[in-house]
Structure 1
Amino acid sequence: MGKIRFGLIGSGWRAEFYIRIARAIPDQYELTEVLIRDKEKGEKFAETFGVKVVNSLDDLMQSNPDYVVLSIKRGTVTDYLIDLFKKGIPVLCETPPGETIESLEELWEQAKKYDAKIQIAEQYFLQPLYASWLKVIQDGKLGEVSNVNLSSLHGYHGTSMIRKFLNIDFDNCVMYGKRFSFDVTETYGREGMLFDGETFSCRRDRLTLEFENGKVAFFDFSDPAQYHSFIRTRQLTIQGVRGEIDDLTVRYLTPDNVPVTQELNRIDLGRYSNQEWSHFALMLGEEFVYKTPFKNARLNDDEIAVATCMLLMGEYLSTGKPFYSLDEALQDTYLSLMMEEALNHPNIEIRTSIRAWAEA
């Protein structure tokens, strides 16, 4: 595959990822132009980031990108996507693709109507650690997985990983739970570490999802502390009939039923006396369970995952092979909306139903 040329729609924090990735891997990605409709805001953005900014979709498409990345506010994404569908423009859309069940259903109908070329940039299953956990499961070390306890991702990101860990398609489920609130001390944010000792009230969502096939997910997330805290970390337990993942520890049985315990070992270049600086791989014992597709690129884990989405989007346009399709994204967003419904009705069972995208 040759260099991927992409246009970018949006100017927020997530949109900046794509600019950094294009600069870090210039032999694979080229950012053609950025679309910002507000002229004054666009001029400031162009000066700040050293990119070419245009003010209309027609101008953006003059640069003939392979696809556009849509990274705009959640409330306007559905209408913008439909406009791109009508124009036949391939799009890699940031999550989520909508914010109500009605908007999700409308988006599905419009995507079918215009035979849209779309994938969703749901990146977490492509992050090195999450990809490693999935590889351990896919290699069969745990046997059939029956339950997962996930405490690291919110909403649709969490439901995406739950379905992948449990190998769930569009199965219905019953969910119930409750929202709590606890004080926690701030330790850092997007701007860096904090040392003032200020506290804030942080909500903690606890839900149980029981799927029709008997598999169960326990969802636990503290928002917003869990993404930005040195004292609120992630926790993951995945249990199968022949083993379990307990965060970085993997326990499983050999074919002769001998119990084995191993640790996931992260390999980063540029630490201590090493002169490079980049992520390389994760290993389980003697086995590589993940290798970055971007050798020597100076990217953090989330940037690696987003860059992988961009790479897979190029492959999708070349081969038709999806990596995170619209129906998958709609299902995960739908489940997250139903989780909010359950949290708004504490400890009351909420049942999901088959939606239009699952009937295709």
Structure 2
Amino acid sequence: MTRFALVGFGFRAAAFHRVAQALPGVRCVGAVVRSPRPLPVPAYGDLAACVRGAQPDFVVTAVPRTANAGVIAEAVGLGLPVLAETPPAADEAGLRALLASVGPSAPVQVAEQYLLMPSHAARLAAVRSGLIGAPTQVQVSSTQQYHAMSLIRGLLGIGRVGAAVRAVRTVAPLLDPLDRSGWTGATRPEPATTTIATLDFGGGRSGLYDFTTGQTRNLLRFRRLLVRGTHGELNDDEIVHLPAPETLARTRLVRRQSGHDLDLNGFDTETILLGDRVLHRNPYAGHRLNDDEIATATLLDAMAAWVRGEGPPPYPLADGVHDQVLALAVEEAADTGREVTATPIG
């Protein structure tokens, strides 16, 4: 059994705790909170007390971005591996200070879960299969900043490379019917900002970022993901490619979801297929987890395996830092109206 403790117990921390209950090899043994309150796990007033009392194998930091870097450094100083919520620091100065504090080989991973969500994991598998050739451009309109940068870099298959970034913003009315708590009851559109950016990574590889305030949860806006390759294109859940000379094919990614109609196995994701090829199989079938929970569970299991020395690092700190560097460059380019060069740090 691999044990972990939480720092913070807000929305994301509660999600980690909830998901961990479905994992037989991972257990949440405590939480560090500023204000004493009833929690489903033992509560501690500071991290050192939590380490002494709960004896975790690693910690998950789920605190505001302005506090995250300090908590990460404290945990590393106590000899603990860290799974840090996104982003690892609020700004470039904070990122540089964090890397200087913990060092390049610190046992720190970042809780970047988007490429582990079933739909994105299946798309990534389809792209990596070579069906559309070498990916050259990724367009993301679904999630914000560093998460979108992770999707762009992951689907392009590039590492921590620099980019020339251009961006613009527009403001227009938009109704916002949903938030984390559910239906808002809103009846009047309010101003919402859309940021559109292009990122040129060189070598013919590029990204397009398109995000409107609240789009992650506002279901009045479609989520869109496009991957252009040398031999085809993936558009959300459909692929166009050349399976044979002078032959165009359009093939869909199909999710097998139990629980519909007379399927009495219960509502659950089972697989995502491309024809007869399984691109993704839910490793937690039977637990009725949604896509974000499946990704979080996968991340926790991967972190636990890495801590035990039984698996690769799930998402190294340097990658999470670079996602934030690119995201900050987008905001700077939109603020100034000038092209910004995003350079890897650390």
1:278 deviation in Å? Answer: 2.0
Structure 1 SS opposite 2:262: coil
Q: Identify if the C-alpha distance between structure 1 residues 26 and 174 changes in structure 2 by more than 3 Å, giving closer, same or farther.
A: closer
Distance in 2, matches of 1:26 and 1:329, equals 25
Calculate percent identity across the aligned residue pairs. 28
Asked if the contact 1:202–1:222 (Cα under 8 Å) also holds between the matched residues in 2, the reply is: yes
1:75-116 Cα distance to aligned partner (Å, 9 max, x none):
011111111111111111111000111111121122227x42
Task: Show the counterpart of 1:159.
Answer: 149
Distance in 2, matches of 1:150 and 1:231, equals 17
Task: Show the counterpart of 2:254.
Answer: 265
**Matches for 1:150-229 after TM superposition, within 5 Å:** 150-224=140-214, 226-229=215-218
Distance in 2, matches of 1:27 and 1:156, equals 31
Asked if the contact 1:75–1:99 (Cα under 8 Å) also holds between the matched residues in 2, the reply is: yes
Distance in 2, matches of 1:234 and 1:83, equals 38
Task: Show the counterpart of 1:244.
Answer: 233
Q: Does 1:292 align with 2:282?
A: yes
Task: Show the counterpart of 2:19.
Answer: 21
Structure 2 SS opposite 1:14: helix
Q: What amino acid maps onto 2:242 in structure 1?
A: L
Structure 1 SS opposite 2:11: coil
Task: Show the counterpart of 1:77.
Answer: 68
Q: Identify if the C-alpha distance between structure 1 residues 99 and 274 changes in structure 2 by more than 3 Å, giving closer, same or farther.
A: same
Equivalent of 2:220 in 206, 219, 231: 231
1:138 deviation in Å? Answer: 0.6
Q: What amino acid maps onto 1:233 in structure 2?
A: F
Task: Show the counterpart of 1:12.
Answer: 10
Structure 2 SS opposite 1:182: strand
1:37 deviation in Å? Answer: 2.7
Q: What amino acid maps onto 1:59 in structure 2?
A: A
1:195 deviation in Å? Answer: 4.6
Q: Does 1:32 align with 2:29?
A: yes
1:167-206 Cα distance to aligned partner (Å, 9 max, x none):
2212222111201111111222222234542211111001
Distance in 2, matches of 1:85 and 1:232, equals 40
Q: What amino acid maps onto 1:137 in structure 2?
A: V
Distance in 1, matches of 2:135 and 2:199, equals 15
Asked if the contact 2:59–2:75 (Cα under 8 Å) also holds between the matched residues in 1, the reply is: no
Structure 1 SS opposite 2:318: helix
Structure 2 SS opposite 1:295: coil
Q: Identify if the C-alpha distance between structure 1 residues 257 and 109 changes in structure 2 by more than 3 Å, giving closer, same or farther.
A: farther
Distance in 1, matches of 2:66 and 2:57, equals 26
1:51 deviation in Å? Answer: 2.6
1:330 deviation in Å? Answer: 0.7
Q: What amino acid maps onto 2:3 in structure 1?
A: R
1:311-357 Cα distance to aligned partner (Å, 9 max, x none):
110121223621210111111111111111001012x211122422x
Distance in 2, matches of 1:272 and 1:9, equals 42
Distance in 2, matches of 1:354 and 1:262, equals 37
Distance in 2, matches of 1:235 and 1:27, equals 35
Gaps of 5+ in 1: none
Equivalent of 2:98 in 100, 107, 110: 107
1:9-30 Cα distance to aligned partner (Å, 9 max, x none):
111111110121123x152331
Structure 2 SS opposite 1:131: helix
**Matches for 1:61-76 after TM superposition, within 5 Å:** 61=51, 62-76=53-67
Asked if the contact 1:126–1:305 (Cα under 8 Å) also holds between the matched residues in 2, the reply is: yes
Structure 2 SS opposite 1:355: coil
1:69 deviation in Å? Answer: 0.8
Distance in 1, matches of 2:71 and 2:184, equals 37
Structure 2 SS opposite 1:254: strand
Distance in 1, matches of 2:87 and 2:231, equals 35
Q: What amino acid maps onto 1:192 in structure 2?
A: G
Q: What amino acid maps onto 1:254 in structure 2?
A: P
Deviant stretches of 4+, over 4 Å: none
Asked if the contact 1:85–1:110 (Cα under 8 Å) also holds between the matched residues in 2, the reply is: no
The total of aligned residue pairs comes to 343
Asked if the contact 2:136–2:230 (Cα under 8 Å) also holds between the matched residues in 1, the reply is: yes
Task: Show the counterpart of 1:55.
Answer: 45
Structure 2 SS opposite 1:294: coil
1:256-276 Cα distance to aligned partner (Å, 9 max, x none):
453221111112222222231
1:118 deviation in Å? Answer: 1.3
